[in-house]
Chains A and B, each alone.
Chain A
Amino acid sequence: MIAEWSWFVALAFGVSFIKCLLINAYHSTDFEVHRNWLAVTHSLPVSQWYYESTSEWTLDYPPFFAWFEYGLSHFAKYFDKEMLVVQNLNYASPATVLFQRLSVIFTDLVFIYAVKECCKCCREDKGKDLLGKSSFILATLLLWNFGLLIVDHIHFQYNGFLFGVLLLSVARHFQKRHLEGALLFAVLLNLKHIYLYVAPAYGIFLLRCFCFTQNNADGSLQWRSFSPLRLVALGLIVLSTFAVSFGPFIVKGQLQQVISRLFPFKRGLCHAYWAPNIWALYNIADKALSILGVKLKLLDMSKFSKASMTGGLVQEFQHSVLPSVSPLITLICTLLSILDAPDSLFAYNIYLSIIFVKKMKTPFLKALFTLFPTTELPIKILLMLLFTIFSFSSLTKLFSKSGPLLNSVEVAYLLGLVPLELICEFVYPLTSWQHTLPFIPLLLTSVYCALGVLYSFIRLYLSVLAAPSTTGKAKSQ
């Protein structure tokens, strides 16, 4: 049994070693965000958590995440007590960095466990060598997902932990432990509310697969097999989770405050949640209009805050939502493509991963314009290449019967990323437009990527809609 999973352990250790080496890499403002939350949850009583605003990075995740930070803070005090002082804004001593980085690496264990559970659901590949097994490929693509590595271990986020919970809930459904899966998802929603946009699909899936206990012979729904008991059970699980999470705040009458922190409508973000990648087009329109406005002297430059000059309305969204959304999509694509879904999904996984790194560059480009050189750029490129080569090579082998992975248009598009990258990173900064129109590389990158992502989404939906139903097949096994 141990020998069987030794390759998995090796993969997990390998990626953890890389994560440890990245401890001293650049970290973004998200580092300070989480340090602040550690301080807030540790030093202040619960009733103050969603009111505290000494730092601009106020608590805007649901209560379970606040409790998570609270739990972490008890270990933090052994590393450096100063990080838990709310007034210590931008405090980043070596011990603080070490603790925070280690906490991400450590909580990734949830992700690793979830990936193992998913691998158990893979089809058996008897007789194939290790590198060709679907469980190996799945484990590598998930554990070594470079988007996740870059966001979590350079930029700084806890996405690995959160994805772990999501993956685990999905794995539980594959293992027919639906109630556990539902509980896990409810917990996830209370950890990070961004997953609400997955909730409708999830809910419908649960309804279809769990509440309707039987299918007709041809795989279609048997309406009469609806089980109210199961629906009630699901409802109870979800409601009780939310009750535990929001209960204390409802009792204190703070519900409205919490909601306003979680969904800052004033910043105009609500419309962007449902269209994670259309933001790019909004971004461009926003920037173009603002520049135009300034040029035509319709708008006063001095009235523009720094935030709106660099991204306008959706800057905050880009900052907090995008890093979570795109890797999630790639991960789900990976999962689905290998665990018995329409074959064409896998290509988009690679596709989206590459595009994702381009999008993730926008925060880095901003850092370029403000302060320091791109020491982390080679790491991003190397990890991306690593991931791409592996994905391409192994997925080609896995799906070799279905023909070439990408058609010539798609290949041309992906290759076009190289000159785009060269222009944005190297050529443009040397031109005279660098000072007058510094956002052009951002613009070019955003538009190019938005087109690609839009294209892949459309093709994705088309292929899912056109594919024969696989759920019936899964049920009857």
Chain B
Amino acid sequence: MENWSLVSVCVLLGLTTRWAVSFSSYSGAGKPPMFGDYEAQRHWQEVTYNLPVQEWYFNTTDNDLGYWGLDYPPLTAYHSLLCGHVAKLINPAWVELRTSRGFESAAHKLFMRTTVLFADILIYFPAVILYCIYLSDGSSKRKVATALCILLYPGLILIDYGHFQYNSVSLALTLWGIVGLGLGWNLLGALAFSLALNYKQMELYHSLPFFCFLLGKCIKQGLMGRGLLLLVKISLTVLVTFALCWWPFLSDPQQILQVLHRLFPVDRGLFEDKVANTWCSLNVLIKIKTLLSRDTQLLLSFALTLLSILPSSIKLLTKPTLWQFKLALVSDEKPVCLMMNELPLMAVWFLLISTFSMLPLLLKDGLLLPYTVTSLAFLYLGVYLLSHQIPCLTDVFFCSNRKGALHLVFLQFTVSLVAMAGLSFTSMVLEPPARLPDLFPVLVSVFSFLHFLAMLLYFNLVQLTEPSSKKSQKKTN
């Protein structure tokens, strides 16, 4: 079969899976008064369509920030505005100021799901395909297998097409950034990542690796010559992009401050919804919530986050290659997709854990069936496809090529899978004991966090030890 048809088949399978998941329920379905993320997105369409830009981030009579106030950067707001215009054309009741609150209908759900699909097809799928074709190693079959696995990553599908989000947009923009940088189109890469930052502020996690990679490249080209020119060009690109995105808010410093205040709600604290992060897990052992003051918690959190990505970023600065860049990025879960080609077992494992970590949220949204099916499918496909593509089994385990270590890793993988399956089953079927109503979400959290920590350490180790394997040498552009 030719490559174009193989790629088309992968794309179609990815789209089919996404649309099939979209049949399921969304977050907050039929749950007044607040509903969920779906209603939040619909509300933003309402706000951005009906109100002038200056009022979007402010608390006014028409815009109650307590009811799903905008808390993403301006690009999300513009996206919502665009969707709002389309919504108005189809059915004005969907975005009617104030009266459309809590609007739910089958037609509206179809519209909302379509907007997600549209964004995916336009931005995410091309990024993935380009990445796999141009920035992955191996035969064309292996590249296609990698693309298929990335496209079928359950976490993204379940959140975007189940819970309801536009995560694929920000991830896609970041991926375009990576593709740009990997292919030597530095300005495009900088532009794309700036757009990603302006879409979701969470991308700040990845900003240090991007910064270090670009700076490293400039330094390598000599800071007293071409390197300086490149640095200036990149800086200009980033500044212009930010300026364009923030244009309506630039006239008034109050606007800028208010937007930043909405983006980084430091008042909310760190414990919102028992997510798998350090704090929740640590809190089980030491009651940080009560021990430390809020400000101390924030400072500590910031410091530790920075610390976790600092070693890899410094290494990247000294050695700005694509491989180092990818390793630095995987401190966060989603870019682990990038490792699918070089470290397939780790990638599949990590991505499954990240999907599993969202189990409490997915159960709340009634996404039990899609979660089970997509996770099983991803696991099966990942192990099957990638094991066939790898000529030598030791390739799945990067650091050592001793068979004993390999068996140990497989054993750990299997144990981890069994534990995940067991925890999933108990969360779905059993009732928690009355004394510990949050037992299962906390267990899921801690389990995921431990894995994340291990993965972070592992990737840092891989990056810093830089073994002499065929994979580590990539061209610097």
Q: Please state if A17 and B110 are interface contacts (CB–CB under 8 Å).
A: no
Contact with A along B218-260 (1 / 0, CB 8 A): 0000000000000000000000000000000000000000000
A288 within 8 A of partner (CB): no
Assess the B20–A386 pair: CB atoms within 8 A.
Answer: no
Interface SS majority for chain B: helix
Chain B's nearest CB lies how many Å from the CB of A372? 6
Give Cα distance in the complex from A386 to B148, angstroms: 14
Contact among B6, B21, B106, B374 for A373, CB-based, below 8 A? B106
Q: With A373-B107, A385-B12, A393-B1 given, is the CB distance from A24 to B369 under 8 Å?
A: yes
A101–B8 alpha-carbon span in the complex (Å): 29
Q: Please determine whether B16 and A386 come into contact, CB atoms closer than 8 angstroms.
A: yes
- A292 and B335 CA atoms in complex are apart in Å by 64
Tell me if B15 counts as interface (CB < 8 A to partner A).
yes
Chain B residue at minimal CB-CB distance from A385: B12
B93 within 8 A of A: no
CA distance A132 to B12 in the complex (A): 20
> Per a CB cutoff under 8 Å, which of B2, B20, B23 touches A18?
B20
Q: Assess whether B21 is in contact with A21, with CB atoms less than 8 Å apart.
A: yes
> Are A21 and B381 closer than 8 Å at their CB atoms?
no
A379 CB–B CB distance under 8 Å: yes
Whether A21 touches B373, Cβ cut-off 8 Å, given contacts A132-B1, A397-B1, is yes
CB-CB nearest in chain B for A375 = B110
**A14 interface contact, C-beta 8 A:** yes
B464 within 8 A of A: no
Contact with A along B107-142 (1 / 0, CB 8 A): 101100100010000000000000000000000000
In the bound complex, residues from chain B placing their C-beta under 8 Å from that of A22 are 20, 23
- The reply to whether B12 and A386 form a contact with Cβ atoms under 8 Å apart is yes
Total number of A residues with any Cβ neighbor in B under 8 Å: 29
Considering only residues 13-40 of chain A, those with a C-beta below 8 Å from chain B are: 13-14, 17-18, 20-25
Cβ of B38 to closest chain A Cβ, rounded Å:
15
Q: Nearest residue in B to A131 (C-beta to C-beta)?
A: B1
B13-24 interface code vs A (CB 8 A; 1 in, 0 out): 101110111111
Question: Is the CB–CB distance between A25 and B12 below 8 Å?
Answer: no
Q: Taking the complex as formed, is A6 at the interface, i.e. its CB lies under 8 A from any CB of chain B?
A: yes
A283 within 8 A of B: no
Q: Which residues from chain A contact B302 at a C-beta distance below 8 Å?
A: none
State which of A10, A24, A386, A392 has its C-beta within 8 Å of the C-beta of B24: A24
Q: Is B377 an interface residue (CB 8 A)?
A: yes
Q: What separation, in Å, do the CA atoms of A450 and B208 have in the docked complex?
A: 62
The verdict on A241 contacting chain B, using a C-beta distance below 8 Å, is no
Is B9 in the interface zone, CB < 8 Å from A?
A: yes
Determine the chain B residues whose CB is within 8 A of the CB of A385 once the complex forms. Answer: 8, 12
Query: Roughly how many angstroms separate A10 CA and B22 CA in the complex, as a whole number?
Result: 24
Kindly identify, within residues 351 to 377 of chain B, every residue whose CB is under 8 Å from any CB belonging to chain A: 369-370, 373-374, 376-377
The 8 closest A-B pairs by CB, nearest first: A393-B5, A21-B20, A17-B377, A386-B12, A24-B23, A20-B373, A382-B16, A131-B1
21 contacts between A and B (CB under 8 A): A10-B384, A14-B381, A17-B373, A17-B376, A17-B380, A18-B16, A20-B369, A20-B373, A21-B20, A21-B21, A21-B374, A25-B20, A373-B106, A373-B107, A375-B106, A379-B16, A379-B20, A382-B12, A382-B15, A386-B12, A393-B5
- A: which residues have CB within 8 A of B? 6, 10, 13-14, 17-18, 20-25, 131-132, 372-373, 375, 378-379, 382-383, 385-386, 389-390, 392-394, 397
